[in-house]
Structure 1
């Protein structure tokens, strides 16, 4: 468990010591996702990476696709995914022990009728015959590229241009771009990371993004820049305790009394930066209010 996560869950007072790694550099963090009612939550979607998109080399009347194993390793004994299938030469096959089909029978029949099931000769596939012998076929299904999105990886990319989420250093540079070389806030999240989460859950025009631990207002910048990119009208609500800036820190020396003042100034600077870059005033209309 990371020191940051431990402190959040148990409190800094319970944290006796932080063990610094001697042999590896820590370059990852964990993101915990919660939903008040998971039933009402849509699936998460993220752009398919450029490297993954290259695997979609085939084309038919439906669209661009790649062939995917129809039979895969799974210890499930569910007979709904272990039925007999008749191959092109009449050979009846089913998965070996430890394997199941990707679809139940009804879905398979529909895919077969739609010509999205592919049979290929194979002497080493995961299928057996009625006699328990190695089958002479393997089965594949067409997986279509569609809108170019899929379930996000558990390891978010930092180099892939389609799934760029940045690193700790990226968060530092985001602030340096606005405040100069002044190290005004530590541990700021990268703007691209928040924008990625917004895309992942489908935050769109007129939605409101709520951040209850807003810190340096990274979420506000992410929302504003997303609006600038697509002309959206997303809004944000930030909540942050007015924690005082410690004495003799760059923030206090720059005249900021608490974290909230840093966040408000960041919002002002982002608005000016975007307006000057895009010659656009829509994204900053109404300004920002603090309470």
Structure 2
């Protein structure tokens, strides 16, 4: 019976396996023969000492840090969760570097979109310093202290920020699907550095572009009012996206107001389309220039199908067809466009007339147009520049809590827009509505709020994973005085309040507004760290290798992470003579962490195995009643085709 590996995914081993698949001849006894690899790669090798690269002090260590497996775990916290039994959302408290490592097996290649709003390194931000030797211990120590800013007087101001960002971005890339995308907010201070490390980690060829978010004028500057920030976008695999002809589109703003106004005018005009169209033009003219509906003012005609604009029917190259078309009222040939008709075939034009797709003027002196309906073109290519006053997000969050609890929250409407764009499908609908959205600098949990709001609007079932360091709030702050001792408490409460508000406003009771809380901690399993002065006691203590202050449920979720199952998989608890068997993911894994395991319990486990695949069976190493029972249990499982049996 194999011992369950207590570490997160070994990325070095994974990379070697990938090379082995491509070039088996370069791997010898698990090691890479670089001389052979150079021969295989031919001339595609950089041998010059001087070459184009982006480097800084500590980069090599940062790369190693990303590849060092974590020995930590995520412990469930049902008390601060919401709808634990049914939700598929996650809120994880902990250092995001360790959490990203722990998620590698369970969420490798499963995330559709990552959005992060990392520290901008303005001199006031907390920049987390990792510990190569024991990051879990370092995390526990750090979170008991007040966070210290990374000030510009620090001689390693940019270096510390780069060393924090690089390993996290490396690990984040592994979690993305092949059609996945990462979006990172930043301002001018670290834009250039962030762009360089994203180019290196994700590949310059996968750069999509930068959104520029204009967030309102600032008048306190001496030189330029810096009123914008950036959102850098990278695909995991641009070639994969292009091969599948995936495109991004966003729904035009202001459409609902146009549709509602058109319906209202038609009713007032007793279905007089001509009069309603004239009044619709007057309505457009009455709107302020910044009203979202005004940009669609060319859609100013109404017929029984809806709102449309009369589109040019001429041939762009001025070599169109020439044929007569009769006006439906005067029965005289209409004026033809100078370049000829767009449709070379007159039958096609007559078919469009019969289908009421051609807009005619008062008489034959006006050139007819094609009716282009608003409902047929509700989506557009996203603009790279957009305006959204960031003060409105602060006000909405303050209203949600009844007081100010967080400085400068991101705007949930902007994040919602980005998620909608990333999940657009060619047919003009959001097909990727079961996607997982990850934010590992979640702050006040704006991304979770945006996911729930978008699901309510388009009927989607997206899930979120929020990760946040439980950074202490300042004791003089309103948040601390209101009872929120760290940022995680603010984030969780925001999700609770926002979810309830969305349900109340939409009336939709089937939305997933819950979340399972997990907290980063050291492994539930004791380490082999013998006390040589009292070795007998050490060996006695290790007869039960589970830490005394940990529960079976703690260990269960650590096992899920180690065997690569998501933390939200369905788990059925089966009672067998007072002992619990965990049936995970409909028999994909059968787990028993009890003492005094006998053959009856093993036989009960067999009743719940999956019909589609042999399950993983995981048992407590010291839990068998005897060595004979352990041997017979393994033989029984093997006889039934179950060979993947592990112990903890």
Which interval holds the TM-score relative to the shorter structure? 0.5 to 0.7
What are the residue-to-residue correspondences of 1:142-161 with 2, within 5 Å? 145=374, 146-157=376-387
CA deviations over 1:97-151 (Å, ceiling 9, x no partner): xxxxxxxxxxxxx9756769xxxxxxxxxxxxxxxxxxxxxxx999875231111
Instruction: Give the conservation status (yes or no) of the 8 Å contact 2:455–2:462.
Output: yes
Tell me, yes or no, if the aligned pair for 2:440 and 2:466 is still in contact at 8 Å.
yes
Contact 2:390 2:411 in 1 (8 A): yes
The question of whether the paired residues in 2 share the 8 Å contact of 1:27 and 1:167 is answered with no
Counterpart for residue 434 of structure 2: 206
SS in 1 for 2:394: helix
Does residue 43 (structure 1) correspond to residue 253 (structure 2)? The answer is: no
Separation of aligned partners in 1, 2:473 and 2:301: 57
What is the CA distance between 1:243 and its match in structure 2?
Answer: 2.3
Displacement of 1:70 after TM fit? 8.1
Question: Are 1:244 and 2:472 matched, yes or no?
Answer: yes
Please say if 1:271 is aligned against 2:499.
Answer: yes
Alpha-carbon distance between aligned partners in 2 of 1:235 and 1:270, rounded to the nearest angstrom: 15
2:501 partner SS: helix
Shift of 1:258: 2.2
Alignment partners' CA distance in 2, 1:85 and 1:284 = 56
Can you list the C-alpha shifts for 1:218-260, whole angstroms capped at 9, x where unaligned?
0111111222234332211112222222332222222323222
What are the residue-to-residue correspondences of 1:185-200 with 2, within 5 Å? 185-200=406-421
Query: What CA deviation, in whole Å up to 9, does each residue of 1:31-53 have, x standing for no partner?
Result: 22111112334222122342332
Show structure 2 runs of 5+ residues with no match: 1-119, 123-185, 195-218, 254-292, 323-341, 353-368, 424-429, 520-648
Give 1 or 2 for the bigger CA radius of gyration.
Answer: 2
Alignment of 1:168 with 2:376, yes or no, is no
Partner of 1:156, secondary structure, is strand
Which moved further from structure 2: 208-217 or 226-235?
Answer: 226-235
Rounded to whole Å, the distance in 2 between the matches of 1:142 and 1:221 is: 39
User: Contact 1:58–1:64 (CA<8 Å) still a contact in 2?
Assistant: yes
Check the 8 A contact 1:174/1:190 in 2, yes or no. Answer: no
Structure with bigger helix share is 2
Gap change, CA 1:254 and 1:286, over 3 Å in 2: closer
Residue correspondence of structure 1 range 11-50 to structure 2 within 5 A:
21-22=221-222, 25-41=225-241, 42-49=246-253, 50=293
Partner Cα separation in structure 2 for residue 70 and residue 21 of structure 1: 52
| Distance in 2 (alpha carbons) for counterparts of 1:56 and 1:243 | 51
- The answer to whether residue 476 in structure 2 is matched with residue 233 in structure 1 is no
Which of 273, 279, 298 is matched with 1:55 structurally?
Answer: 298
Equivalent residues in 2 for 1:106-117, closer than 5 Å = none
Pairwise CA distance, 1:210 = 1.3
Equivalent pair of 2:420/2:454 in contact (CA under 8 Å): no
Aligned residue in 2 for 1:5: 187
User: 1:70 & 1:213 partners in 2: Cα distance?
Assistant: 52
Deviations 1:177-226 (A, max 9, x none): 211132x1122111111111122222643222111221110011111122
Identify if the C-alpha distance between structure 1 residues 179 and 8 changes in structure 2 by more than 3 Å, giving closer, same or farther.
farther
Q: Secondary structure at the match of 1:290?
A: strand
Would you say the 8 A contact 1:174–1:191 is kept in 2?
A: no
What is the Cα-based RMSD across aligned positions, in Å? Answer: 4.0
- Name the CA distance, whole Å, in 2 between partners of 1:88 and 1:208: 52
| CA 5–27 in structure 1, closer or farther in 2 if over 3 Å, else same | closer
Whether the aligned pair in 1 keeps the contact of 2:412 and 2:449 (CA below 8 Å) is: yes
Residues 1:220 and 2:441 are matched in the alignment: no
The residue matched to 1:268 in structure 2 has which SS?
Answer: helix
Kindly indicate whether the alpha-carbon contact (under 8 Å) linking 1:56 and 1:65 is maintained by their aligned counterparts in 2. Answer: yes
Instruction: State TM-score, norm by structure 2.
Output: 0.30
Could you tell me how far 1:171 is from its partner in structure 2?
1.4
| Cα distance in structure 2, aligned partners of 1:275 and 1:181 | 22
The answer (yes or no) to whether the contact 2:445–2:491 under 8 Å persists in 1 is yes
User: 1:181 and 1:88, CA in 2 relative to 1: closer, same or farther beyond 3 A?
Assistant: same
Q: Is the 8 A contact 2:394 2:408 kept in 1?
A: yes
